Amino acid sequence: MNLSIALFQPDIAQNTGALIRLGACLSVEIHIIHPTGFDFSSKKLKRSGMDYIELAKIVEHDSFEQFNEWREKQNKRLILLSTKAKQSVYETATGVFEFQKNDIILLGRESSGVPDYVVQKADMAVRIPMKENTRSLNVAIAATMVLSEAMRQTGGFLDLT
């Protein structure tokens, strides 16, 4: 399984911990793009990640530039999950959006998303359709929904059994 999740400068330790736990349970690498809005080694993070932190594959990157250089060398597609994207993660004009096994699902900061220079580096930006006049889902819930769809499409759940 090569799918992974990247967190761009996360600012809520509890969400990061929940996503690390998700990564551990589903054997998905978690990339942390610094700086974070909290002490990454803090007790809050360990509390929300519980004992799953030791089971997770966590890769830290000092900056988005460093992360992007790494992912381009690895030939991994960057899929940005954004409320501003026009493309639904569940459908396109020609059918369903198609994930690839080496995709990285990028999530922005809980407070402000990602800056334009990050949007421009993404290979695709997708959104979760939501009821009108709602702003966004919790980042950990949104990541779980999109990762589940990506794993379903690429046979990732079969790799866990």
Q: Residue 54's domain spans which residues?
A: 4-160
**CATH at residue 143:** 3.40.1280.10
What is d(CA 139, CA 20) in angstroms, rounded to the nearest whole number? 12
pLDDT at 26 over 80: yes
**The model's pTM:** 0.92
Q: How many independent structural domains does the chain possess?
A: 1
- Mean local confidence (pLDDT), 8-34: 94
| pLDDT per residue as tens digits for the range 62-109 | 999 999 999 999 999 999 999 999 999 988 666 778 999 999 999 999
Rounded mean pLDDT, 117-140: 94
